[in-house]
Amino acid sequence: MPEISPNKPYRIGRSRTGLGLFATKPIKKGTKIIRYFGPLLDCNKKKDDAVENKYLFQITSRWTIDGSVRKNVARYINHSCKPNAESDVRKKKRRVDIRAIKDIAPGEEINYDYGTDYFKEYLKPIGCKCEACEKKRRKLRAAAREEKKRLKAKAEKRTAAARGRKLNGHKAVGSVTRKTKTGSAAVKTGTAKKRSKPSR
């Protein structure tokens, strides 16, 4: 891991995606944080065009920076769909600087949007792990749990209502039977008393 001067407002640290670059001092919006550098590759040359790694930074259709060199600390900056920095590309000078687009607090990870092509090729197949996407996934998982809970409660309520209807039906039939039996017993008792009286 390359050494960083204590005067620099950043450090390399452990991130959710491996290593990342973190602010050690407050960085104001608009501040140039670091330069993204490395050998320039001429894509018109077969040898240069054949170079493949995930640290290639395309400046124009012809020129690309190979940022895989150890001294390029900017290569540790991770992608974010809601970044706090951006890449400031100066095509004529073939230079790329990373600049803050928000105030960045000490301890906060520095990140920028890698662009659509990189996202499709490297991040989409495995799923973007930036804080914004993780937050979105957590929200979706929580909503799915709530929906599952709601459907379960609805199903239980429906089952309880169905049981209640069956029980009410049984009670109604039972009470009619009891009334009928009681009534017939009374009739029988009355008849017996009449027969026991002496005839005149």
Q: Residue 55: which residues within 8 A CB-CB, separation 6 or more?
A: 38, 66, 67, 68, 72, 75
81-85 mean pLDDT: 95
Q: What b/e readout covers 73-101, taking b as 16+ CB neighbours within 10 angstroms?
A: bbbbbbbbeebbbebbbeeeeeebbbbbe
Q: pLDDT averaged over the chain?
A: 84
C-alpha distances out from residue 68 to 4, 9, 80, Å:
17, 22, 20
Decide if pLDDT at 189 tops 50: no
Question: CA–CA separation, 110 vs 123, rounded Å?
Answer: 18
DSSP code for 196: H
Per-residue model confidence (pLDDT) at position 186: 46
- Using a cut of 0.75, tell me whether the model's pTM lies above it: no
Decide if pLDDT at 176 tops 70: no
Decide if pLDDT at 116 tops 50: yes
Per-residue model confidence (pLDDT) at position 67: 96
The answer to whether 125 touches 60, Cβ cutoff 8 Å, is no
Tell me the CB-side half-sphere exposure of residue 200, using CA atoms within 13 A.
1
Decide if pLDDT at 200 tops 60: no
Listing DSSP states for 114-168 in one string gives --HHHIIIIITTT---SHHHHHHHHHHHHHHHHHHHHHHHHHHHHHHHHHHHHHH
Per-residue model confidence (pLDDT) at position 124: 84
Q: Say if strands 78-79 and 109-112 run parallel, antiparallel, or are unpaired.
A: parallel
Query: If we measure between CA atoms, which residue out of 48, 42, 67, 49 comes closest to residue 57?
Result: 67
Decide if pLDDT at 174 tops 60: no
Question: CA–CA separation, 186 vs 200, rounded Å?
Answer: 25
User: What is the band of 96 on the pLDDT scale with cuts at 50, 70, 90?
Assistant: very high
